[in-house]
Amino acid sequence: MQWIIVQRQPILFYGQNKINNIRIMKKFCLIITSLLFLISCLLSCDDISQEPRVKQEYLSFTAKGGKQNVEVVLKRYSWKFCGLLDPERNYVMIDSEKIENEVLENGVQRIHYDWITFLISKDKKNIEVIVDKNYTKKTRLIVFDGFGERVDFNFRVFQAP
């Protein structure tokens, strides 16, 4: 007697190929979506490590006034003076017509407003802050705002009454 071996074919139900195709497409879409997300994350990161920043973000003066220096760390990008902010008026930018902004003969930029003067060195690495005596018997505060390539920096100047 001879035995006949019959190979069994898997029984395919209607639509089983469709289900497999859908599973494959879901995996493919998941992989593509993940890759696109990673690429967008890598491309959207801005390198702000080369932007200028100040070492000291807060200066405090007595009622007598005085001088202090702020060092600006420059790496790749330079910066420019943006304006002065008034905290008493909800940090609104002070009108540029009220600010004296001039470049002296030695290349130093002088910015003067009411009770405070900023002297920016020619290489823009140092800002000398000069504060007048406070006769008003009120606390005075102002914010210096500078702007680099993409990011701004600021520091606050406080004077006691």
How many whole angstroms separate alpha carbon 107 and alpha carbon 78? Answer: 15
- Identify the pLDDT of residue 68: 96
The answer to whether 95 and 149 are in contact (CB under 8 A) is no
pLDDT digit string, tens, across residues 66-102: 999 999 988 887 889 999 999 888 888 999 899 999 9
Is the model more confident about 43 or about 26? Answer: 26
Q: Where are the alpha helices (DSSP H) in the chain?
A: 16-44
Tokens representing 57 are: 């973000």
Interval 14-37 mean pLDDT: 77
Residue 40 — very low, low, confident or very high, per pLDDT cuts 50/70/90? confident
How many whole angstroms separate alpha carbon 35 and alpha carbon 28? Answer: 11
DSSP 90: T
Other beta carbons less than 10 A from residue 125's beta carbon? 13
pTM of the model: 0.70
> Domains of the chain (ranges plus CATH)?
53-159 (2.60.40.10)
Burial category of 129 from C-beta neighbours within 10 Å (exposed 0-12, middle 13-18, buried 19 and up):
buried
CA 72 remoteness from chain centre: 15
